[in-house]
Structure 1
Amino acid sequence: MIVRLKAVTCHFGILYQRRSCGLKLQTKLSRVTIVICAIAILFAAASGYMINSMRNTAQSMYEHPYTVTNTARAMRSRLLDMKQFVGIFLTRSFESEEKARELFDERYAMQNEAIAAIRESYLGPAEDVTALQKAMDGLIEIQDEALRFVGTHSEEDILSFIEERVYPYYDEVNDCLERILVSSDKRIYQLMEDITHTTVASIGTALLLTFFIVFLTMYSNMVERTSIKELKARERELHEALLLAQKANNAKKDFLSRMSHEIRTPMNAIIGMAAIAGAHLDDRGRIEDCLTKITFSSRHLLSLINDVLDMSKIDAGKLTVNHEPFRIGQLTESVVSVIDSQARTQEKIFECDISGIRQERLIGDYLRVNQILLNLLSNSVKFTPRGGMIRLEIKEIEDQKGRTFLQFVVSDTGIGMSEEFLERLYLPFEQADGQISQKYGGTGLGMAITNNLVELLGGSIDVKSRLGEGTVFTVKLPFDLPEDSEEYHVRELETLRVLVVDDEEYDRIHANILLKRLGIAAQFAKSGREAIKAVLEAQEAGTGYDVCIVDWRMPNMDGIEVTRKIRETAGSDVLMIVLSAFDWSEIDEEGRRAGVNAFIAKPLLESPLRNVLESVLGADISSKEPEAAQSNCTGSRLLLAEDNALNMEIAVELLQMAGAESDCAVNGKEAVEKFEDSPAGYYDAILMDVQMPVMDGYTATRKIRAGGHPDAKTIPIIAMTANIFSEDIDAAYAAGMNGHMAKPIDAKTLYQTIAGVLKL
């Protein structure tokens, strides 16, 4: 109806301006316009009056009845507390009558302040407040008499005195409060009825206005039959806008449908596997299998939730860019380990090539870049059939003063995309078609998030794809360079004799380039047998190799076996380094037994290679990355504030697994009390949930920091919460916390965070 009214109004405006229309039509148009204006003015005036009336009524409710009821209920709560404990308090031993009187006077002052507030806002009879004050004065007087009575009488006499003399005054005060509450509640109901009447009147006015608009619309359709083309053009525009809105709405409906399926699928696995594990408690293997599947499904569910949260932050404009130093090796190692594992599990091939990297130390948002690459590569793995190829290429394309640009190319031999879908690729909630979503799953948010992240970082993204032929994404991102660029010293590395063993020609060429930068003229072998022969020949000639860099995955003989045979023939003089694009944790123990001295991640980068080679000469490795914090927290004692029993149980168990002891508090107030009652140095750290009853984590942290405990200013306090937005993290630090961990808690992250704050 609103759209129709706009069209009619526009139509009248056009008719009015066209002098070719007859005087009769102009007269009718003028009358209609005047009527519409008059009705609009009346409706605006009536609406303003009704809104002002409701506002005044609501203001009255907040300033009077609500204030009175809240104050009276708080006063009654304190009254009941005093009545409940007065007998216990008066019969126990206490230091002096003055101390007891001081405690009572504090409560009297609070009650009298409440009475004053009630007197100011109460709309009922003034006698009610006068009676309340009189009853309260009587209670104060009789309790003062009770204090004097205590010092000279037995406990039995004291209790009898309280029962017969004191409690009746409590009851009288309570009765007065009850009358005031009843009166205030009635006043609220009356005000609510006023608002209801006003609302009904507003609805009636709106209906009346609707009736007149309908009537005038019908009348206007009768009086005008020209200037039609422009009206139809407007109607077509509105129709197209409606179609776009419907399409967007349908996309969101499809998204919600997919999300329901995507969320319920891992949830079904989690619930089902938990039930199966519970039914096979005596079967350790079955339980381990169930737990593995529960963990996998939980991480999948968390990734879905993170996608939705990222999109909501993008829509709200809350995404921020971090500028922190990192090494390109950190990025490649993180991405390669994840994607290679996904590809191998699905019997797909993953390759990563790096070339032309002159600046290994960069300044930028490492996590956002990591997210961009993982989104693109995960999609490539998902949409590439078994036996297909996924490839990541990284190269430096431009180097300015104090800044550099990196190009990331993600290509695959997957199902590809149509030109039609490429036009809406970066729209949220979009997927190519229903069959794609049913077969491959997903939220339809990944590419929208990726595109927004690239724009946020000041980069560009380009895509080329054809159905059935695969896809190529090209991302260009700028990075700042540290002012204090490292000056690397070769330190006699040119004296080393190095043999590189790799069956891939490209990898041999890349290694040769890096070694030449270090002044090393290396030798190369294409297979394990060729490498063993070269080592023996060099040893017999008296020019044995100092270092052998061996690829792990080679046909016929892998790097571990090559190492073992070289150790058998050449002894321990050669430094054996295994180079792998895969997670070497699964072969670490076997490799050490075979004689491997070190592992280096593939693709090979200059700084980790230099570090290992310098170690041969006994040089200091200043650029070596710090090792990950250990998860051993034995001997530590932590205070855990968590109101959810299940979350508390999980955290306690994880801490016990790391050798740490923990005390628990179910809310912030209890956490503050336990900390303040503890001796100095008793707790090493506090894990603080944020959203808790009684007292939240931020308030509890501020109270701890402001307290008089010897450790109040120094004890580490870590937020442990599901609030993960940047403003939540800022709020944690603003409250005085030292760290922030997002729920659900990851065991490795928990251990590393604790080890970090405790300097373990």
Structure 2
Amino acid sequence: MNKTVVVELDQNGKEIFHTAGYEKYWISRVGMETVWLRKERVKEVVSVQETFAAMEFLEKPERGIVSAEISIRMKMTDESCRWTRVGYEIMMPDNGTDKKVVVTFTDEEKEKQSEAEYAEVIRERDNLILTISGGIAIYEITDKIRTVYITEETAALAGYTKKELMEIIGENALALCHPDDIKTTQNYFKTRRQQVRVMSYEYRIKNKNGMYQWVSVRARFVQQKNSILLYTIMTDIDQIKKAEEDARMQKKMLELALQQSDFRFWDYDIKTHRLYRSWAVTQQVGFGEYEENVPEGFVELGLIHPDDCEAYLEFYHNVQQGKNQRLTFRAIHQNGEWGWMDIAYRVFFNEQGEPVRAIGVGGDVSKQREKEQKYLKDFELFRDVSIYAIQRVFLDVFLVDIPTDSIRLVLAQGGYMNMKEIQGYDKILNQKLCRYVRDKEDAVKKLSIAQIKKNIALTKDHKLEYTFELRNEKGRKCWYKYYISYFHENTEKLLVLVKDVTNTTRLEDEKRLELEAALLQAKKANDAKKAFLSNMSHDIRTPMNVITNMAKMVLEEPENKTQVLDYMNKICSMSTFLMGVISDILDVSKMESGKLQLRKEPYSCIELHDAVCAMMEPLCREKNITFYTNLNPQNDIIFTDKTKLNRIFFNLLGNAVKFTPAGGKVSFLHKNIVRKDGFLEWDTVITDTGSGMSKEFQRKMYQPFEQENQLVTDSLAGVGLGLAIVKMNTEAFGGTIAVESEPGKGTAFTIHLKAPYMSGEDYHMHYTASKLQTDLAGKKILLVEDHKLNMEIAKKILEKKQMKVTCAYNGAEAVALFEKMPEYTFDAVIMDIRMPVMNGLEAAAAIRAGAKADAKTIPIIAMSANAFAEDMEKSRRAGMNRHVAKPVEPERLFGVLSEIFSD
């Protein structure tokens, strides 16, 4: 793409024209005018990390800055982000025409990448240095150089043993030295040993493989009587030399890429005090590629302004100590004039934690310094405008410095205080801030530093707001609002803004009175529901008490099969009742909307008798209440929704026991029984000798969550749904309910019901287990269930009817198995809904969408704990034929399968 793109705008930010390449920036789609006028839209065209900087950049024209630049990552139309130097300049024509804005976009991505690659090469070289081991050697220098002592590590550098190497270099220490390096090394010894006692040098030696490799030697001279001893530490730097050569190549490539940019960088070796310049710096200052003795050499040459020398030397001293530093100073340029330079160093350390090198960046900021002076003037204007704007909103503005207990006043009663500092915040708080507050004690407590720190820590956004009523100097009633927050997230400084909110508060008071009236009415309606939420466990614990204790009895008498069977029947009955309780609680929304569905199933009088007795006898025995029923255990069958029928009776009987004191009586009587035309019609009368109900409560007792407060105690509390459910279920059956009750005289409920009827003998003639067995035996079922225990239960239920079961543990596995097997392998699919990998709804839809001949016709039955009507509707839309709710009732499941297979 083009390196630089130019866009020209009119004074309103509307685009006039652009050069090629602009269309590759995302801002070309959003529109330059949109971003120019609505600065919050800038987040759509730059990287997320650059949003804040971009917002500040767009504000510069409004502050009168006619030109500026910024390096930022811009979003591209290919969804990437590229480093781009964005600049603008406002053109003011002399001929009186409207001003124009020229915006440039210069691609810097390659330069940024080259910079990162060069830094990586340098890091790799440093890592090599830290991992190289070395050896020790001692030489005697007379008219020749003789080897006195070497270590095994020294010999190993060249691939020799200590003995082998001594035989080669014993009398001639330079025997393995590269011919080109022998004379240089000898001269180095002669010229340096008289001047310094420690020196470092590099040369090449021939290793055992016949190849030359670079070594680095750090040597110390010790003067003897007739000779000089040379103590050395030798290090293999062959890889380093190769890495440095690669680095130089990378550096040259990088500098070629940066020739057109203003970027300046260099590398400073902290150990040797050598500075390696980039191409750009070399061109700017007119010196060589590297410089020795930095920083002292620059100062001695007079390249640093005399007034800045001390700061310059201190700056480098800190870098040498391992501190990242930044400095702005004056240096002489190639043209001989002083200019301002801004440089910064980032220090890097070796594995021992020693600072070894630093990367410096910077450049000439002389023009920027001129702009800064102009900026200061603009800032003063901006400050004055800002203060004026703040005065229009706030009365007082001040900063609280927590450690020093002082404040800096910005505004006081609307007047600018020029950041005046005053000591003693708490004293000022008592004397000034809270002088006219109505409740001074409350205000002082809330506004004290200790309380602010405590309260502000509890908030998510670290902000506090307080409104205080007070009398102003004229005695008029008014309200001031305090806004308190940390200043720029600095937990040691608090920003406090004070606003006169008198008019707003008066309007809020009027609105508050209206809301309080509405809230009071809503509270009355909600109190009953709160009681329900706090007491809903009552109706669940009652059947759970039966289930838990009878389960324990089974464990205590396992050998008594008759008794165990009786216990298990009662546990099953109470489990069914418990499911009814849960369904009623979850179906409140259905009750309120009138959407209640009944199902018809056979229910014997024996089962009803056992269920009632299993629930009532323990409750009555616990409270010493006499329970009486005239329900004879016969084998007659009615067809009804037995769960909802039980709820009618159990709710009324439970209330009767609840509100009847010890020694009282509860009865469950059946009267006016008529069998005619295949129907059974009867009245059930439930009476108690309890507390009774007032006439007022009787008028609203069927509403959800209602309870008669004067009769409800902690021991009598319930969910408040019982009578509402009784009324709902009775009317769903087409029946009626009537009540007679007076406070202190007990209660009598009469329920009139009618249901299809069949004698026990006729029922067993039409609905025998053998027929069901014949219908289901041999059927092949694909059972899909992710819960292993549920899978085991369902599999055993199906196999009891001699069905053949194939298991799959998620929807994806079921679909794959169905598609893999031949057509018509399975007679039906029983599928859970909530499963990992693929849920039941998705799996059913996938099966129906398949190409197999039986994909559209095979029965699919949902078997799920999702039991609401909307869940069943989702199953139907996914292609499922029926929906069976968990916990699974075997007879219910067998009935559904029989119906499907008989269709």
Q: TM-score w.r.t. structure 2 length? A: 0.37
Bigger Rg, structure 1 or 2: 2
Q: Higher RCO, 1 or 2 (CA under 8 Å, sep at least 6)? A: 1
Flag the structure with higher helix content.
1
TM-score by length of 1: 0.43
